[in-house]
Amino acid sequence: MSASGPQSLPAAFHAAATGAGPRAGVRFLGFGAPDVVISYRRFLHMSAWLGRRVPRDPDGRPRTLIIIANDPMPTLLAFFAALWAGDRPVVLPGLKAAGGPGPLVDRVRQVAARFPGRCVLAVEEALLALDLDLPDAPVLPLPAAPDAYGALAEAPPPGDAGGGDVAFYQMTSASTGDAKVVAISHANACANLTALRSALGAGRDDRMATWLPLYHDMGLVGTVLLSFFHGWPLSLMKPSEFVMRPFRWLDAISRFRCTITAAPNFGYDYSARMVAERDLAGCDLSSLRSAVIGAEPIRFATVQGFHDRFGKYGLRDDALTCSYGMAESTLATTMAAPGSVPRYALVDPASTSPGSPVRLLGEGRAGPGAPAPERGVAVFSCGGPLSGIGMRLVSDGSAVHGEGVLGEVELHGPSVCLGYLDGATGEPAPFEEGRYRTGDLGFVHRGELFILERTKNVIIRNGQNYLASLLEDRVAAVLGHPAHETLVFERDIHDPTGAVAVLVENHRGEAGVSAEQAAALRALEVPLDELLFARKRVIPRTTSGKKRYQETRRLLSQQAMPLSGVIELGAAGES
């Protein structure tokens, strides 16, 4: 390793694996079956063995290894095998996460079409047994049993990958359109993983636990690669296991004395609501120093609810660490300082026009017993940029300056990816001047970034901008329903006086509102026209849990969404 740090992922993993003790490695949690524990050194040897079995390109060019598996172990072995082979892995959702055989095959075909003649399918053997109609490409079978993999006797050399070469691909979560293929270089990954350790205030003795899917950047980069890169012991469970038994995430943190974990807002909210008290006997969360929360809007009710629920089990007041990131910056962009209680600003939803100051109604910190804000909407600080990341806010193409001025977040620096894959050339197309326009609106207060909304999720009435996520918090308070199960949107984004609707999912009662609730909804900054109710989870979401507004419009226009009731509030055209 050079004095300036590793220049490629294989070099970094080689150094971490050979320098780590025999106890440092990854534990694949079994739950009903014995855990599979593999040291980093042996994992390196196993993945290198598998790498020699990846079908080679006749001309010696790098290929893309498309990984399709339900189980984390073969997924990761295939990912690292591609790195050792000099190929470029990309992880796709497995059978359950994709929604069944049909959607899985469609997704694989769409991705494979972007690498014509240059891809290999790494497929779990259980999926191959289903005889799926996969694209015509070489196949690398992935056994489920660890004993089915060999291992090289000696650690392979790191190879000659350069920092600017593509290391792997990530699929964007596609909250505003079709998923794009993001090209991450070795230098991008090394820069972000190094900066992440610094931002977390982490050291050699940290331990991590995760249930996050490996096809998402927070799961792949923010937990697995981060642990491998720094030689931290990692406890890993399947996402489906978390959904069925969320207490086992907390149990893993407790049993293995994990110091770091990460999840989107959904994970913390789901745990606080769904974990039964009887399952927490003996649970001790006092080892948890940093529970990173990000990937989707951070809700006050979630942060407060998680603190209130698990504080008596040793959860520290400052454990939750708010963050902001995306695949295009490899993962992390900003992060709150470790050891600080989450800070929020109360934003007036009526003062959210890009290029103008946001009106702040107050501020506070979440924590055990903290009261819910009585006015405005709580927006959490996501801290400052990670080391090496340049950030500015722009509006109408120009930088905005001043405390609290709203603008679109723009990024540059070594963590920012090479660009999106260009279908015509098969290579990444770099962003203009190396700057990435995120599409996210935010403001800076006391040197820290506060994220409000996607630019495409803005409702405009009479020249005034209203952010959908802030309106959803207001509507949720009126209805007494969780904000993450509420979606506010324009029926027709091309009609400036068209209907503004609210979709409420997982609604168990009769589809209706009281006269007081109807009046409160009409009195919001944007009067609402209709309420749509569904008895189950119907809001389309990305792989990271972000709501898909345009897809919601499409499904409703095609009458393809199962609704249990519709209430007209009669505010259309009024402002």
Tell me, yes or no, whether 245 lies in a domain.
Answer: no
User: Over 60: is that where the pLDDT of 33 sits?
Assistant: yes
The answer, yes or no, to whether residue 513 has pLDDT greater than 90, is: no
- Give the span between the Cα atoms of 110 and 104, in whole angstroms: 10
Position 511 in a domain: yes
Print the domain residue range for 483.
462-568
pLDDT number for residue 233: 95
CA distances from 283 to 188, 254, 256, 291, 310 (A): 38, 6, 11, 16, 9
pLDDT at 99: 82
| pLDDT value, residue 242 | 94
| Domain count across the chain | 1
**5 within a domain of the structure (yes/no):** no
Strand residue runs (E) in 4-145: 25-28, 36-39, 64-68, 88-92, 119-124, 139-142
Q: Does residue 522 lie in a domain region? A: yes
Q: Residue 360: inside a domain, yes or no?
A: no
Query: What pLDDT score was predicted for residue 574?
Result: 37
* Residue pointed to by tokens 């004395």: 257
* 73-87, 294-308, 492-506 — most confident range: 73-87
Instruction: Specify if 549 maps to a domain.
Output: yes
Residue 428 pLDDT grade (very low, low, confident, very high; cuts 50, 70, 90): very high
- Sequence-distant (≥ 6) Cβ neighbours of residue 53 within 8 angstroms: 81, 140
> CB of 212 within 8 A of CB of 223?
yes
Question: Does the pLDDT value for residue 452 go beyond 90?
Answer: no
**Residue 464 — pLDDT band, cuts 50, 70, 90?**
low
pTM for this model (two decimals): 0.83
- State pLDDT tens for residues 345-366: 998 877 777 888 989 999 999 9
pLDDT per residue over 194-245, tens digit each? 999 999 999 989 999 999 999 989 999 999 999 999 999 999 999 999 999 9
The stretch 57-62 carries a mean pLDDT of 88
The yes-or-no verdict on residue 490 having pLDDT over 90 is no
Task: Reply yes or no on whether the pLDDT at 494 is more than 60.
Answer: no
The Cα–Cα gap between 271 and 315 comes to 13
Mean pLDDT of the chain: 88
Burial 22-43 (b: 16+ CB within 10 A, else e): eebbbbbbeeeeeebbbbbbbb
* Structure confidence at residue 97 as a pLDDT band (50, 70, 90): confident
- Sort strands 260-264 and 208-210 into parallel, antiparallel or unpaired: parallel
The confidence band for 463, taking pLDDT boundaries of 50, 70 and 90, is low
Q: What is the pLDDT of residue 1?
A: 39
100 lies in some domain = no
Is residue 3 predicted with pLDDT exceeding 90? Answer: no
| Residue 554: inside a domain | yes
Q: What share of the chain in percent tops pLDDT 90?
A: 57
CB 288 within 8 A of CB 211: no
Q: Is the pLDDT of residue 281 over 70?
A: yes
Q: What is the CATH number of the domain that holds 550?
A: 3.30.300.30
CA–CA dist 271, 293 (Å, integer): 13
Q: Is the pLDDT of residue 137 over 90?
A: yes
What is the tens place of the pLDDT at every residue in 362-371?
999 997 777 8
> How high is the pLDDT of residue 176?
42
- What would the mean pLDDT of 158-178 be, rounded to a whole number? 71
Query: Does 544 score more than 70 pLDDT?
Result: no
pLDDT at 248 over 80: yes
| Rounded mean pLDDT, 417-428 | 90
For residue 237, which amino acid is it?
M
Contact 228, 11 (CB under 8 A): no
Q: What is the pLDDT of residue 572?
A: 37
Give residue 399's pLDDT: 87
